[in-house]
Amino acid sequence: MKTNRRSFITKSIVGAALLTNANLFSAQAESMVSLKKSKKISINQNDIILFQGDSITDNGRDRNNKNVNDNGALGSGYVNLAAANLLEKYADKNLKIYNRGISGNRVPDLQNRWQQDTLDLQPTILSILIGVNDFWRTKDSGATNTPEQFKKQYQDLLQQTLSKLPQVKLIIGEPFGVKNVKHVTDDWYPDFLAYQNACVEISKEFDAALISYQSIFDQAQLKASGSYWTTDGVHTSLAGASLMAKGWLDVIK
């Protein structure tokens, strides 16, 4: 584990500097190639893999079902598809895979349930996809959480995680929006880019693998329209879920 990552466990985090428009658009360009640059995560014997996030991760899972490696507990989205691949490919590794995504969640919601739904499970690999609701609620519900506040909350969450689970391997999913499909309109931009950029920066600060979902969906639209991959610009179709699962599995070496 890198020295600069260990130092995050003990040092306090200062407020982030204000982002410029140039930073935002350069981050968007960087996202187009970050899949190639992203660090890779190895699968080891007895790994505990936990998926955390909002409705995209939740995807209809039975929240009363706490079993590992269970269809009902994993939902019907990208988590289930990725888990199926992992369990087949690494049948000899005794993997335990959980889904604890909850629809509508923002980072503060994760903070409120982090002990029970993450730390108590003691994952060795932790995948987080969060951020679209942190932005979206500022548009449809009058929330006032800024990109800077979002980034600080996310940093605090990961600092807490590393203080309890210093060896955990982190995977950060970039929040995405497929433009001109129902909810994702021109009004989202450029503001949404700041939340995406925060996730890119956080992945570097915490030595996490980054899944550039925005780039993945942008490239997919060269084959089919956005409405083919998502139902509303955010939530995936079956094809979109498969696309996300493949993106997730690409960071596994």
Task: Name which residue leads in pLDDT, 3 or 205.
Answer: 205
Report pLDDT for 140: 86
Give me the mean pLDDT over the 38-63 stretch: 96
Mean pLDDT of all residues belonging to the chain: 89
Encode pLDDT of 54-98 as tens digits: 999 999 999 999 999 999 999 999 999 999 999 999 999 999 999
Extract the tokens encoding 77.
């989205």
pLDDT for residue 13 is more than 70: no
Residue 114 placed within a domain: yes
Residue 145 placed within a domain: yes
Report pLDDT for 7: 55
d(C-alpha 76, C-alpha 108), whole Å: 25
Cβ within 8 Å of residue 44, ≥6 positions away: 93, 124
Instruction: For residue 128, give the nearest of 73, 203, 60, 185 by alpha carbon.
Output: 203
Q: Kindly indicate the confidence band of residue 12, based on its pLDDT and cuts at 50, 70 and 90.
A: very low
Domain count, the chain: 1
d(C-alpha 76, C-alpha 80), whole Å: 6
Residue 20 placed within a domain: no
Give the full edge-to-edge strand order of the sheet including 209-211. 96-99, 48-53, 125-129, 169-173, 209-211
d(C-alpha 201, C-alpha 192), whole Å: 15
Extract the tokens encoding 160.
């807490």
Residue 97 placed within a domain: yes
Report pLDDT for 128: 98
Report pLDDT for 37: 63
Expressed as residue numbers, the domain containing 151 is 40-249
Encode pLDDT of 132-159 as tens digits: 999 999 988 888 899 999 999 999 999 9
Q: Do residues 35 and 247 make contact, with C-beta atoms less than 8 angstroms apart?
A: yes
Residue 235 placed within a domain: yes
Encode pLDDT of 213-253 as tens digits: 999 999 999 999 999 999 999 999 999 999 999 999 999 98
Q: Are strands 48-53 and 96-99 parallel, antiparallel or unpaired?
A: parallel
Report pLDDT for 4: 55
Extract the tokens encoding 70.
């269970």
Give me the mean pLDDT over the 30-50 stretch: 77
Report pLDDT for 135: 97
Residue 186 placed within a domain: yes
Q: Where are the alpha helices (DSSP H) in the chain?
A: 3-10, 21-31, 34-37, 55-58, 71-74, 78-89, 107-117, 132-140, 147-164, 191-205, 213-220, 226-229, 238-249
Residue 140 placed within a domain: yes
13-22, 66-75, 153-162, 206-215, range with the lowest pLDDT: 13-22
Residue 5 placed within a domain: no
Q: What is the CATH number of the domain that holds 99?
A: 3.40.50.1110
Extract the tokens encoding 73.
């507990």
Half-sphere exposure of 145 (CA within 13 A, CB side): 22
